[in-house]
Amino acid sequence: MQFNQRVDRVKIGLDDDGDTFVRVDLSLRVLDAQEFKLNVEQVAAGPDEVFAGIQTFLKSPKKAGR
């Protein structure tokens, strides 16, 4: 939930399978090219922001033979 405070236009969460998602809710009635570009940039930056924040909590894959 802390990530939702860091980004303006997108929502970050977990789905039913435990996968992280980034989404944006747009109103096409007020969408122009500049607004669309800003939203795409926010969605593109969202996963990087989340990964940087949760990286220390992720388990590293086990190496073969261990």
State pTM to two decimals. Answer: 0.57
Element (H, E) at 34: helix 33-54
What pLDDT is attached to residue 29? 81
Of 26, 31, 20, 28, the residue nearest 8 (C-alpha): 26
* pLDDT tens-digit readout, 26-54: 777 878 899 889 888 888 887 777 777 77
Residue environment code for 23-60, b if the CB has 16+ CB neighbours within 10 A, otherwise e = eeeeeeeeeeeeeeeebeebbeebeebbeeeeeeeeee
What pLDDT is attached to residue 66? 53
Spatial distance between the Cα atoms of 5 and 10, rounded to a whole number of angstroms: 10
Domain spans in the chain, listed from the N-terminal domain onward: 2-55
